[in-house]
Chain A
Amino acid sequence: MILCKGMSMTRNSLAMACAAALVFFAAPAWAATIFVSNEKDNTVTVIDSETLEPIKTIETARRPRGIVLSPDNKELFVAAGDGDIIDVVDTAKLEVVRTLESGPDPELMAVDSKGDVIYIANEDDSLVTVMDIASGEVLGEVPVGVEPEGMIVSPDDRYTAATSESTSMAHIIDNETIKLVGNILVDSRPREAKFTKDMKELWVSSEIGGTVSIVDTSDWDNPRNWNVVKKITFEVPGLRPEQLQPVGMDFDEDHGRIFVPLGPANRVAVIDAKTKEVIDYVLVGQRPWHGEFGPDYKKYYVANGLTNDVTVIDVESLKAEKSVPVGRLPWGVAIMPGKPGE
């Protein structure tokens, strides 16, 4: 299970990747490399997970936000919204080696399990751009609601879900036809969408609505029949409801939990995937939006936008252990197993 956190892998490729990974990274284990995009600095900070020291600061195009690794972890995609481009970082060299012409204002992206296709939210154009990663060729563009943001490819690569912040919807794209096949109304300002590994649910966080909607996707062949079946709300004594703004969502398949950074609440909510109840709220730095688990699911790393640091949460004890300074307005986190070049 070590390296099987890639949600967007088919069972076979997952098994193969795990097998391969086990061969290469077996013994010392758990060493990982953490990438954090710094929206204000136009950089990506690279951190060694063992020392928690920065290894390198990579210059990117302007306003880097969404950050995602290729399935083979060889490339890191950084959406630079003000640069209207996606920088591709070679994770061995730790430098930008090429760019993808993403179209205007890319914010978040998702990559299919084979690493062939990238789905990009063009916030400003109400479009999802579908692009061949190797050639950079645009395979299609799908008009969605206003201000698309969250992107996720289903574990079987069949669908991509895109949220549109202003339209308050999750749009479902059929990846083969590159067409919209479903639209699900959720609460205000949906930020992220994630499929569960068993593909029975799609979770959508609504930042301004203050809820996480769970969409029943068990009728997998018919996205038009997918409905919101439950909404998770948040409550922290002493905090006002408007401060509880769920943004990112990260699944800990090992423990059956979902970690949800709550923005202005300065906390990460921990949700039980089965009961869908909040188990705990972990106090972190200010305005956490996105985080990521380490490859072994022992630690969770969340970027705090207003305090310019990353909080390390111990997954077992649910305690915030350490704060690691990064650049200004840290936004997204991506983590690859091993050290650069290994």
Chain B
Amino acid sequence: MQKLRLILPGLFAVCLIAVLSPGAAFAAPETPPADASAAKASDKAPADKAADGDKASEAASDKKLMRVYYLGKKYDEPLPLSYAEEVITDKGIQGARLMLKEANQAGNFVGHAFELDEGIVPKDGDVVAQAKEALASGHRIFLADLEPDDLLAVADLPEAKDAIIMNIRSSATKLRQEECRANVFHIIPDYAMRADALAQYLIWKKWPKWYVLRRDTPEDQDYAAQVKRSAARYGGKVVEDQIYRLPPGARNLDSGHQQVQQQIPLETESAPAHDVVWVINSDDDFGDYLMYRTYSPRPVVGTQGLQATAWDKSYTESGGMHFQNAIPRLADRKPVERDYTAWLGFRALADAAMKSGKVDAKGVKKYMLSDDFKLEAFKGQALSFRDWDHQMRQPIILGGGTRVPVSTSPQEGFLHQTNLTDTLGFDKPESKCKFK
């Protein structure tokens, strides 16, 4: 477990200027105007430089401090089927680290500071004990890189009652429905949002007949149920819901393609007429085999092929290049969805803190659920939270398995009385969430 303490970019610290903004309740520090010279031409990334330590900590003490705790567990994750995909072991945390830097960069101008503690337990570790320890040391604001059972165990701790727990990892719909919690906010889209995002596009394309081919893990069952819900919602049809039979195997095999080339047409030949294959394979052990190999020449969507995702490594719109460039500088690899959701969860907290002047869980939560909360995050419109289940409403990128993004949902023509993005996922009338 690594403890990462606040790094104060010194060059900013010395540029600390009191700022008074109307509406914002925070008190600006009465620091005299900049006493250091402007950055030299050679200082390419001033925010990275921790300069004068004394000065930095001095400045920090005047500031409103928000402490964020990254709580995670090293679950076994399947290797990507494609050898072209990097095996990444630090998904998520790198996004949080980036936001720590950016939040302090912004906070320095307006008298706020942010701290990130990291508590990532090994795969056999006790994440609840870790959470208790963090809660005991006063932490109330969490980025949760956790699977549903662990997430709920942490959320249900009595001492976590007034906490804010940002779910950056799990798409499980039950967390937004029957098992919703008042102290949990969902940054990552759930399977219902993903299915709706793809469904809208397929309906727009006039490709309404979907052949679902999947494994049967709990994640896959959840996603498949949401595809059926989307079909009913938008006039699509699941013509077949088939479990893929062949067991997973090693991903690299000599002359392995020959068998796959024989097997996939056989597996897919009996499907009724369909427009697309909707593959649901969370473990990523066969989905990528489908493209160019199915019995009928059909596009592949779902967990492989065209995917509905919060982030795509080739997405560049609405300022997205910033994130594409910033993660590699920090992590030496391209960003993945969980980096974005961790960054976004932290960003929601930091934005709420700076705009409201509050750094405690209660104040931040109140602001995040207010109409004033409008978060910018490279999606071309403001993001906010649904008050009925705490899911972040957001446009969803259609890309992932494609070399360039294909589209962004909601699609044109799918209407909603208040928010177009509420056409994705569980809308208020169908929510089963009851906060206690």
Contact = CB atoms under 8 A, between A and B. Distances in A.
A188 B376 contact: yes
B106 interface: yes
A328 to B, nearest CB: 15
Contacts of B167: none
B102 interface: yes
B98 to A, nearest CB: 10
A137 B65 CA distance: 40
7 contacts: A126-B105, A143-B47, A164-B106, A179-B33, A183-B109, A185-B24, A229-B22
Contacts of A142: 38-39
Contacts of A143: 9, 11-12, 15, 39, 43, 46-47
Contacts of A189: 319, 376
Contacts of B375: 188, 208
Given A167-B106, A224-B19, A141 B40 contact: yes
A165 B376 contact: yes
Interface in B78-124: 102, 105-106, 109-110
Contact of B382 (A126, A164, A186, A242): A242
A141 B40 CA distance: 6
A117 B36 CA distance: 22
Contacts of A225: 20
**Top-6 shortest CB links A-B:** A183-B109, A167-B106, A188-B376, A185-B21, A143-B46, A208-B376
Nearest to A263: B380
A22 to B, nearest CB: 40
Interface on chain B toward A: helix, strand, loop, or mixed SS?
A: loop
A184 B110 CA distance: 8
Contacts of B19: 182-185, 224
B106 A145 contact: yes
B420 interface: yes
Given A124-B321, A126-B47, A140-B38, A185 B355 contact: yes
Interface of B: 9, 11-12, 15, 17-24, 33-34, 37-41, 43-47, 102, 105-106, 109-110, 319, 321-322, 325, 351, 354-355, 374-376, 380-382, 419-420
Nearest to B101: A146
Contacts of A127: 39, 46
Contacts of B325: 124
A177 interface: yes
Nearest to B324: A124
Contacts of B9: 143
A171 B17 CA distance: 10
B322 A166 contact: yes
A166 B376 contact: yes
Interface in A156-189: 164-169, 171, 177-189
A209 interface: yes
Contacts of B420: 240, 242
A164 B376 CA distance: 12
B21 A227 contact: yes
A95 interface: no
A189 B347 CA distance: 13
Nearest to B355: A185
Given A147-B319, A242-B420, A141 B43 contact: yes
A254 B43 CA distance: 44
B49 to A, nearest CB: 10
Interface residues of A, number: 47
Given A167-B106, A180-B15, A242-B420, A228 B21 contact: yes
A180 B106 contact: no
A166 B24 CA distance: 18
Most buried by A among B44, B102, B319, B321: B319
A320 interface: no
A32 B37 CA distance: 43
B41 A140 contact: yes
B15 A188 contact: no
Contacts of A165: 319, 376
A234 to B, nearest CB: 14
Nearest to B375: A188
Contacts of B46: 126-127, 141, 143
A208 B381 contact: yes
Contacts of A140: 38-39, 41
A123 interface: yes
A179 B38 contact: yes
B105 A177 contact: no
A192 to B, nearest CB: 14
Interface string A230-268: 000000000010100100000000000000000010000
Contacts of B354: 185
A266 to B, nearest CB: 13
A90 interface: no
A145 B108 CA distance: 9
